[in-house]
Structure 1
Amino acid sequence: MAGPGCSPAVPVWLTEDDLGCIICHGLLSWPVTLPCGHSFCRHCLTHLWDSRDARRRWACPTCREGAAQPPRLRKNTLLQDLADKYSRAARELDADPAPAARAAPPRVVIPKSLTEVGEELTGLVQQLVDIVRSLQSQRRPLEPGPDGGLSAEGAAFSSGVDLSLAAPTHVTSSASEGKMGDILCSLGEIQEKLRESFKWKEAPEEQTRVEVPEAPSTSACPLPNQNCPAPKRASRFAQWAISPTFDLRSISHSLWVSEDQRTVTVSHHPQSYPWSRERFSISQVFCSQALSSGRQYWEVDTKSCSHWAVGVASWGMSRDQILGRTTDSWCVEWKGTGPLAAWSLGKQTLLDSDRPGVVGVWLDLEEGKLAFYSVASEETLLYECEVSASSPLHPAFWLYGLCPGNSLTIEQGKF
């Protein structure tokens, strides 16, 4: 029983995201809470407001609720206390890993090579073969053999073998035996295809992306050891395909790009980009390419991002607005939960579609059309709308949420 003045400790599971600042992606420091209820680091919020134009200077970075005058920023002592306790607990765990080990150690998943995956699948098929053969022998009738002893099934029964995996009905017909034989033949074919396929698709050790293995095409590459590249997907948009690159003038401080400027990632720490009035105040970025005529198509890999929006916008889009919420931006959006959505001219349309792993964007400025596709073995239309070509449009992206490491990649040369 707790003593006077004490209250029982209730375990509460918190992550850094629960006490994080959406601007700097770190733990709240000197947290302040705006009238709308959202909280931020005081320094981050005032720095963001100082970089904005006067129209929406005092708006909340999360919900955009604003005020004509700067609100009084008072320290939220409860949030500060929680953030301090979280920091102390994290330091204690780093100093003494034993309690963490006694609780629930984090699972470390080591990626397997393609060869290891192939060997495991082949082993599983072999287990199925053994099971079918065992069932085949167990289904033989319980009758004396030519020498007066029991048949194979009878011997198994008398020796205590568990036959509970067998079917509830005792099938001894030749038809059942035929089905068993067919199953064994099919499993044998699967084994052989697995061996050939994984040998054919085995990637070098330095390759970081693993492609789904496919059976080799004997017409294109008759011998597996020729190391022929996998055939490209035949896309109806291939002749209009482009590979845009991210624009460093517009990129938010919370994002960074790869050396080839085709992968954008949510950073663990704010980036020290030079000041620019073209820079987004939230986790968004444009591509450098200004598209003002003709037809273009590009694809974006979204599999490494849990919250994202992919679309197009004019260069004049307000840098503190969200993609799709303005009259000069359009996108499809996935926010981790709920259905996929499309945004056009500030209006949302819910889409009857699963989350696409790759999004194809088709921009036809000759017809004034924009379409989004889910890309797998072929392109499946997600949403189509009209766009205005009064000003050039740029590929645009939003990586939402406190999820450092989330990334989007513009595909090239695969369609």
Structure 2
Amino acid sequence: MEISSTRRFPVWLLVTWGVTRLALLLFVFKVWVFPGPDVTTDVSVIYHGWYETLRTGSFPHHDVTWQYPPAAALAILSPALLPFADYAHAFFDLVFLADLAVFCLLQYAGLRPGRSLRGAWMWTVGVALLGPTVYARYDVMVTAVAVAALLAGTRHPRVMGVLAGFGAMVKVWPVLLLAGALRSKAWIAAAVTAGGLAVAFALTMPGAFSFLTFQRDRGTEVESLGSLVFHVARRYGWEGEVRLNYGSVEFLGPYVDWVSGAALFLSVIAFGWLLLWRLRVRHMTPPAIADAAFVAVLVFTVTSRVISPQYMVWLVGLAAVCLCFRGSRMTVPAVLILAACLATVLEFPVYFGDVVASDPLGVTLLFVRNGLLVAATVTAARQLWLGTVTQPAPTVPPQASRTHESLAPS
């Protein structure tokens, strides 16, 4: 997938991106029909409904499906930038532009000396494998902010912090980009940005933080790792049910709280491991900063009570940034994520009916997808630990050391 010369224009990469994105647009504009349920209803019905409420200057705080930080309002309101198109079409156009921005950032980064175009290929292929669902959610917009933050992080920690703080106020998870940021500049910039936005929204729009209650009350979504317990249990007479609840299809009934609690416990364990890693880090390199962010988002995604298909966009974007660096240790996890993307588009939307019914095909696809995610998580965490904790820091050759001393200001 790599271009041998950084000076050669990556024609095939550009053509592949253009063809796959044209296909995604044809699907969301319903020129072509993608198998399974219509994935665009979230935009035309749910997002549009939120849009009408947000335009009045208030959050939809009485709607339990609104489960996002206050700056998510900016993504939902963004179609107003294209007043000549209806809401859904304007939204698809803006997501396409966000996709293009990510592609351009990764291509620019990949063409720099010592970098690789593997990241741009990862984004091109991974998003295409996920199908039209990607363009029918606002996660590409958030991922664009995250990709820009990580690419800036190696040289401009304050810029990384500002973008991570802004992204966290749009969809929380970008705060995990700071996992590998060892300079306080990035953390301070993120805190100031997020705090400023939080205060601004709290003072100007009612219901800015109602999402915290709705997130707390969520159950076990049918595509999550914990849901596999109930998919199997239904074959043996489990008396619960599957129902649309808090905006997603969830399991409700006996022992669901136990499994949700177990997922929360796993997230705490993941946080503990990340904290231990931070305390044990011996050296960090620019690739390791991106690797750490990827691992942090990966472990919290896998242990979540919800693993919606659009969550895969985050992982594809962060894996793509990792692969821009030749020294990244995330090649194998990135390949596993690509395989998980293919399994994801099959379980949703193509065979989602089988998933909801816990039919053998649907359960098998979930086992494959979630198994790949677990394998990617374990592999990525191990590689991060080996690269930053276990292996000794690279030694500086004496000649280079003398050169550095000679250049140092007196």
Give the TM-score, by structure 2 length.
Answer: 0.20
Between structures 1 and 2, the one with greater strand share = 1
Between structures 1 and 2, the one with greater helix share = 2
Choose between structure 1 and 2 for higher RCO, CA contacts under 8 A separated by at least 6 residues: 2
Give the TM-score, by structure 1 length.
Answer: 0.20
